Amino acid sequence: MRGLVIGESLIDIVEGGEHVGGSPLNVAVGLGRLGRDVDFLTHIAGDSRGRRIADYINSSGAQLVPGSMTAGRTPTATATIAEDGSATYTFDLDWQLCGTPEVPPPLFVHTGSIAAVREPGGLAVAALLDAYRLSATITLDPNVRPSLITNRDLARQRIEHLVARSDIVKVSDEDLRWVDPDREPRYTARGWLALGPAIVAVTMGENGSRAFCAAGEAHVAAKQAEVVDTIGAGDAFMVGLLDALWEMDLLGGRRRAALAKIQLDELTAACEAAGLVSALTVGRAGADLPDRAALRSIAF
């Protein structure tokens, strides 16, 4: 069984250097590095940057879906790093999708970030999620990019629609404050859980993570790590969460009822595993997610 990730990939320009990036790409690559079978549908060009992205994806063990290299130019994101390691971005990208991906029926479909809200590709992403929902677990990370959003209310409506169609949602407390600045993030997360997901996991930086399910609420402290930068930290958490739930046999349409009944000890263990992947990632420059050997060799 293979997973499917849909979303943007781009070149991060960070302090003069260039790194392959994009939130959905990081999830696909991270899972590939952990030995998971995953396909990645994106929109890049056949230029030098696009070929670099394609090589990066394939070298991780993930597979680039045919038809992903039809863009006029490969997108870029210029990052500015603050003293605490946090990053802000200026984007140059075009997001489109054409047709149904030529892949086997996926175990899960993950999307989020720019791909979820930017047109014309956003509507195509929503249609694909609906098409796959019967047989696949749907997972979402909104990973809001305010600099690309021209209509805040429409974007919030789109995000909430996708949340209601998802089984697993991972979101940062910062994103939740953008979605609803008048409520504490945990209350917005609980509201999202009521829309239909089995799990809503909230990352809170140095304060760890909090996850909600029908059985209650789990809280996991952050792993100690020397932060180089936070690029890809949330994506790494998503990778670790999916990997853990995959290992628990809780992914796939046939396991939707079991996922909805996940117990707090299982959810806590999944968030612990996700936090470890994230801690390893923030200790490296760029979104350099660990492989399975690195996870097994490090104890926090």
Enter the tokens of residue 296: 């097994």
CA separation for the pair 243, 19 (Å, rounded):
24
Which pLDDT score is estimated for 91?
Answer: 86
* Predicted structure pTM score: 0.92
Residue 214, burial from CB neighbour count under 10 angstroms (0-12, 13-18, 19+): exposed
Is 297 part of any domain? no
In this predicted structure, the answer to whether residue 87 has a pLDDT above a threshold of 80 is no
Is 300 part of any domain? no
In this predicted structure, the answer to whether residue 65 has a pLDDT above a threshold of 90 is yes
pLDDT digits (tens, 9 = 90+) for 32-41: 999 999 999 9
Which pLDDT score is estimated for 109?
Answer: 97
In this predicted structure, the answer to whether residue 106 has a pLDDT above a threshold of 90 is yes
pLDDT tier at 83, thresholds 50, 70, 90? confident
Is 11 part of any domain? yes
Closest to 56 in 3D by CA, of 44, 67, 72: 44
- Tell me what percent of the residues of the chain surpass a pLDDT of 90: 70
Number of domains in the chain: 1
Check residues 180 and 82 and name the one with the higher pLDDT: 180
In this predicted structure, the answer to whether residue 285 has a pLDDT above a threshold of 70 is no
Is 221 part of any domain? yes
pLDDT tier at 149, thresholds 50, 70, 90? confident
Which pLDDT score is estimated for 16?
Answer: 72
pLDDT digits (tens, 9 = 90+) for 153-172: 999 999 999 999 999 999 99
Which pLDDT score is estimated for 228?
Answer: 67
Which pLDDT score is estimated for 48?
Answer: 96
Lowest mean pLDDT among 74-88, 132-146, 241-255: 74-88
Which pLDDT score is estimated for 116?
Answer: 87
Q: For the residues of 84-132, what is the DSSP string, one character each?
A: TS-EEEEEE------S----PPPSEEEEETHHHHSTTHHHHHHHHHHHH
Torsion sign (Cα): 261, 263, 264, 270: negative
Is 195 part of any domain? yes
Q: What's the whole-number mean pLDDT along residues 52-60?
A: 96
Say whether 52 sits in a helix, a strand or coil.
helix
Q: What's the whole-number mean pLDDT along residues 37-64?
A: 96
In this predicted structure, the answer to whether residue 137 has a pLDDT above a threshold of 80 is yes
CATH code assigned at 93: 3.40.1190.20
Enter the tokens of residue 242: 């999916």
In this predicted structure, the answer to whether residue 11 has a pLDDT above a threshold of 60 is yes
User: Phi first, then psi: what are they for 11, rounded to 5°?
Assistant: -105, 120
pLDDT tier at 255, thresholds 50, 70, 90? very high
Is 299 part of any domain? no
Residue type, 103: V
pLDDT digits (tens, 9 = 90+) for 207-247: 999 999 999 999 999 888 777 667 778 999 999 999 999 99
| Cα-trace Rg, the chain | 17
Check residues 25 and 86 and name the one with the higher pLDDT: 25
Q: What is the mean pLDDT of the chain?
A: 91
Domain that holds residue 187: 3-80+88-289
Is 169 part of any domain? yes
CA separation for the pair 33, 40 (Å, rounded):
14
pLDDT tier at 299, thresholds 50, 70, 90? low
CA separation for the pair 274, 197 (Å, rounded):
18
Which pLDDT score is estimated for 204?
Answer: 95
Is 49 part of any domain? yes
Question: Residues near 129 by Cβ (< 8 Å), separated by ≥ 6?
Answer: 109, 111, 138, 162, 165, 166
Closest to 139 in 3D by CA, of 236, 36, 231, 4: 4
